[in-house]
């Protein structure tokens, strides 16, 4: 069976067309387009005309890519930016026409569950026996899922920490002043401290932190010094807290234009990478964890799998 999943994120729109084999989506076509749909959203809770135009252009491109594969199942999901925007209805109408498929908005908990679904499909078997905290730092929010084992209910949280919003609030200047960085760090610490699932405290030693999404994979690509993105090298890569600190020192000293020239980062990722990186630094410190595992698979794969009949709800 062939399925297609589309993730309309706050920073990027992503497409996966895949053949589903043994519960895994095996890619036939993938596309990622930086749309920055959530740009300026914090000011008036409205999607800008320019952002909507970029989004519609991306969806038109996705429709062209999907067509020759003729998937039996498709699902398109919008996340934090569309949850927040007061003018989302008009965009959703135009997006559904452009794509030829209804676009639905999923809440933060479903987003977190779908991210976990995608991660579990590709996580190494040895990791499945450990308590997992799956974290996805997106453009508009951060989703966390604590999975202790198959018998206990999931603990989910969707937090208002997004790389786009934090950048616009705290890091607008090309080389952010020290006070702005302190304010950013304190804000992240406050939100994470309140939002981390309380039951994490009962399994601190065995807990495996798994990071998914564009921020995490970009950091892994930087650590690996990749000239071209290679998902086989990103998947299951271990990122140490000390490496994150080294990456911070390197990136914070670079102007945005220079960061955007790094081959390891996708288009426009250099604009927002500092805010996303800071979330992971603070998270590992709060968890007292020396490292986290990176998963290339996540929300997009979860959306694709959920398009099939009989799949559990997000």
Supply the DSSP string of 170-209, one letter for each residue: H--SSS--HHHHHHHHHHHHHHHHHHS-GGGGGSTTT-EE
What is the β-pairing status of strands 2-8 and 12-21? antiparallel
**pTM here?**
0.93
102 pLDDT above the threshold of 90: yes
Residue 259 to residue 252: CA distance in whole angstroms:
9
pLDDT band at 151 (very low <50, low <70, confident <90, very high): confident
Is the Cβ–Cβ distance between 200 and 207 less than 8 Å? yes
The CATH classification number of 2-107 equals 3.30.420.40
Question: Reduced to 3 states, what is the DSSP secondary structure of residue 129?
Answer: helix
Residue 290 to residue 221: CA distance in whole angstroms:
19
- The pLDDT of residue 175: 83
- The pLDDT of residue 275: 97
DSSP symbols for 36-73? -TTTTHHHHS---HHHHHHHHHHHHHHHHHHGGG--SE
CATH 3.30.420.150-classified regions of the chain: 109-295
Nearest to 294 by CA among 249, 237, 250, 244: 237
Tokens of 96: 């559904």
pLDDT mean over 113-133: 93
- Weakest-pLDDT range from 248-252, 255-259, 280-284: 255-259
264 pLDDT above the threshold of 70: yes
pLDDT mean over 276-297: 97
- The pLDDT of residue 229: 92
- The pLDDT of residue 202: 65
DSSP letter assigned to residue 100: T
- The pLDDT of residue 109: 93
pLDDT mean over 97-101: 97
7 pLDDT above the threshold of 70: yes
- The pLDDT of residue 205: 74
Is the Cβ–Cβ distance between 301 and 115 less than 8 Å? no
12 pLDDT above the threshold of 90: yes
- The pLDDT of residue 52: 97
201 pLDDT above the threshold of 90: no
pLDDT mean over 227-245: 96
- The pLDDT of residue 313: 52
> What letters, b where the CB count within 10 A reaches 16 and e where it falls short, cover 61-79?
ebeeebeeeebebbbbbbb
Place of tokens 């062939």: 2
pLDDT mean over 143-158: 90
DSSP letter assigned to residue 154: P
Tokens of 309: 């009949």
Is the Cβ–Cβ distance between 135 and 143 less than 8 Å? yes
197 pLDDT above the threshold of 80: no
What is the β-pairing status of strands 237-240 and 103-105? unpaired
Tokens of 234: 């990103």
Q: What is the mean pLDDT of the chain?
A: 94
250 pLDDT above the threshold of 60: yes
Nearest to 163 by CA among 145, 137, 133, 126: 137
Residue 170 to residue 187: CA distance in whole angstroms:
10
Q: What is the dihedral of CA 144, 149, 152, 155, to 10 degrees?
A: 0
- Weakest-pLDDT range from 205-209, 236-240, 300-304: 205-209
Query: Does the domain at residues 109-295 carry the CATH identifier 1.10.10.10?
Result: no
pLDDT mean over 4-20: 97
Place of tokens 């890519």: 65
Residue 60 to residue 28: CA distance in whole angstroms:
18
Task: For 219-234, write each residue's pLDDT tens digit.
Answer: 999 999 999 999 999 9
- The pLDDT of residue 281: 98
pLDDT band at 134 (very low <50, low <70, confident <90, very high): very high
pLDDT band at 49 (very low <50, low <70, confident <90, very high): very high
- The pLDDT of residue 155: 92
């Amino acid at each position: 069976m062939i399925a297609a999943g589309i993730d309309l994120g706050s920073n990027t729109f992503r497409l996966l067309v895949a053949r589903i084999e043994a519960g895994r989506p095996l890619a036939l076509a993938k596309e990622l387009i930086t749309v920055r749909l959530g740009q300026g959203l914090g000011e008036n809770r409205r999607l800008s005309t320019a952002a909507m135009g970029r989004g519609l252009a991306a969806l038109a491109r996705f429709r062209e890519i999907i067509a020759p594969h003729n998937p039996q199942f498709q699902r398109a999901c919008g996340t934090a930016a569309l949850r927040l925007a007061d003018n989302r209805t008009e965009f959703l109408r135009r997006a559904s026409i452009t794509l030829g498929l209804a676009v639905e908005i999923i809440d933060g908990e479903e987003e977190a569950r779908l991210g976990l679904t995608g991660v579990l499909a590709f996580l190494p078997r040895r990791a499945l026996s450990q308590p997992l905290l799956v974290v996805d730092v997106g453009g508009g929010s951060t989703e966390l899922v604590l999975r202790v084992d198959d018998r206990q209910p999931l603990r989910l949280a969707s937090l208002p920490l997004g790389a786009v919003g934090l950048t616009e609030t705290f890091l607008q200047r090309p080389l952010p002043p020290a006070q702005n960085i302190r304010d950013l760090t304190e804000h992240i610490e406050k939100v994470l401290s309140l939002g981390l699932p309380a039951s994490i405290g009962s399994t601190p030693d065995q807990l495996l932190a798994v990071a998914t999404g564009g921020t995490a994979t970009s950091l892994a690509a930087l650590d690996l010094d990749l000239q071209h993105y290679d998902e086989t090298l990103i998947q299951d890569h271990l990122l140490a807290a000390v490496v994150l600190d080294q990456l911070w020192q390197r990136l914070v000293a670079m102007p945005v234009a220079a960061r955007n020239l790094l081959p390891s980062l996708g288009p426009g990722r250099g604009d927002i990478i500092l805010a996303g990186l800071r979330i992971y630094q603070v998270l590992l410190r709060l968890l007292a964890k020396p490292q986290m595992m990176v998963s290339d698979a996540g929300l997009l794969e979860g959306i694709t799998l959920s398009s099939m009949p009989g799949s559990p709800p997000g």
